[in-house]
Amino acid sequence: MAYRRMYKSMEKKLTIYDIAKEAGVSTATVTRVMSGHASVRPSTREKVQAVIDLHGYTPSAIAQDLENGKNKTIGIILPEIINPYFAQLFNAADDEARQSGYSVWLNQLPSYERVEDSLVDDLIRRRLDGAFFMGGIWETQRPGLMEAINRLGQYMPIVALCPPQANLNCICLYNDLTSCVRHAVRHLHVLGHRRIAFIGGSLQVGGSGARGQGFLDELRALGLPDDPAYHHEGGFDAESGERAVQRLLSGLEKSRWPTALVAFNDLVALGAIKQLKQIGLKLPEDMAIIGCDNQFFCTYTDPPLTSMDLHPEEHARSAIRELLSAKDHNTPPFNLMRDATLVVRESCGAKLGYRKMG
């Protein structure tokens, strides 16, 4: 037994013509009533409005879009919304766009996967008003990404959350990750740490390279030993953190264990903390750790995780604003750097004060 007319969409779709006919006016008048701008005789207005209300008529956005040749939509491309860091970015971008009467269209592009032409085609096909590529992308080799951005950039303004790169034709918003990591290392040094290791991420590639560089730079600047056994790459999530700690410590005599860890990000730190405790270490007494991203759970780890805030919301809001303004004013590409902020909690032993360490 089939159900009929369950949805109005199943009935004859209601168009502006239907309203016009039923109200005994032209479609132009209906438009006038709805927009409210033009002047309509009060009696006609009422008559038309009555019909509109009666049927609950709402004009089709797709027809409107066609009419004025745009979407009022901005495409957002990120690796995975599951990652709270990207959720945070997305959320701020969404909010900012909405405030300007724009919508946002989310596209997940998993890390490690090749950038397919079909994604770019999709974005072009939709006639978006701009595209915002956010991070995670440069942390790994991403075949095809730069070409994709450059092609897409011929159709709409683009903002990317990444350090500026040669031949990358878009607005780049980024953090000075080198100085960010140097900041972290310095914090640990001030607290007395001398054997410091870096875990997670990937020291060679893309944006991660900057962190690795910062790490090494600061070690040198402080005159600390630069032991290759103290670099353990591996990934961007909590499991990577667990594994990194395991590999790091199992490869070293106890006497040579570092006293502090710089984690690629908070997720890596989260995993590291678990593994460190499992080994029986007390935090921060036996091992200090610092994360990056200042995620919501930093307050709730035990001990609370000291971290670097990269100010993702501000980046996201800038991105949207620049996108909209670039569309209007045809702004030439530029780049914008933000400093990171150290958020001191307890995982580095700040409360314990300075200690002389082996």
DSSP β-bridge partners for residue 132: 76, 159
User: Restricting to residues 147-206, which ones interact with its own copies according to CB under 8 A?
Assistant: 151, 153-157
**CA–CA distance from 342 to each of 34, 121, 203, 302, 347 (Å)?**
52, 41, 21, 18, 13
User: Restricting to residues 223-282, which ones interact with its own copies according to CB under 8 A?
Assistant: 238, 270-271, 273-274, 277
Identify which of residues 59 and 333 has a Cβ nearer to DNA in the complex.
59
Question: Where does this chain bind DNA (CB under 7 A)?
Answer: 13, 15-17, 24-32, 34-35, 38-41, 43-45, 58-60, 63-64, 66-69
Per CB under 8 A, does 12 bind its own copies? no
Q: What does 143 bind: its own copies, DNA, none (CB cut-off 5 to 8 Å by kind)?
A: none
- Phi then psi for residue 292, to 5 deg, are -155, 130
Q: What does 150 bind: its own copies, DNA, none (CB cut-off 5 to 8 Å by kind)?
A: none
User: Restricting to residues 299-338, which ones interact with its own copies according to CB under 8 A?
Assistant: 299-302, 330-332
Query: ∠ CA(89), CA(120), CA(327), 5° rounding?
Result: 65
**CA–CA distance from 240 to each of 76, 232, 282, 345 (Å)?**
27, 10, 21, 23
Stretch that binds its own copies, among 23-31, 41-49, 99-107, 196-204 (CB under 8 A): 99-107
Identify which of residues 28 and 54 has a Cβ nearer to DNA in the complex.
28
Residue of the chain from 31, 44, 45, 59 that contacts its own copies (CB under 8 A): 59
Q: How far is the CB of 10 from its own copies (least distance, A)?
A: 7
Identify which of residues 63 and 357 has a Cβ nearer to its own copies in the complex.
63
Identify which of residues 90 and 215 has a Cβ nearer to its own copies in the complex.
90
Q: How far is the CB of 75 from DNA (least distance, A)?
A: 18
Q: Which residue is associated with the tokens 């903002």?
A: 159
DSSP-assigned letter for residue 235: B
**CA–CA distance from 13 to each of 19, 149, 278, 318, 322 (Å)?**
11, 39, 63, 41, 39
CA distance linking residue 264 with residue 201, whole number of Å: 5
- Phi then psi for residue 336, to 5 deg, are -145, 125
CA distance linking residue 232 with residue 241, whole number of Å: 9
Q: How far is the CB of 84 from its own copies (least distance, A)?
A: 6
Query: Taken in order 141, 271, 227, 222, is the CA torsion positive or negative?
Result: positive
Name the residues that contact its own copies, by CB under 8 A.
2-4, 6-10, 13, 56, 58-63, 65-66, 69, 71, 80-82, 84, 87-88, 90-91, 94, 103-106, 108, 121, 124-127, 151, 153-157, 238, 270-271, 273-274, 277, 296-297, 299-302, 330-332
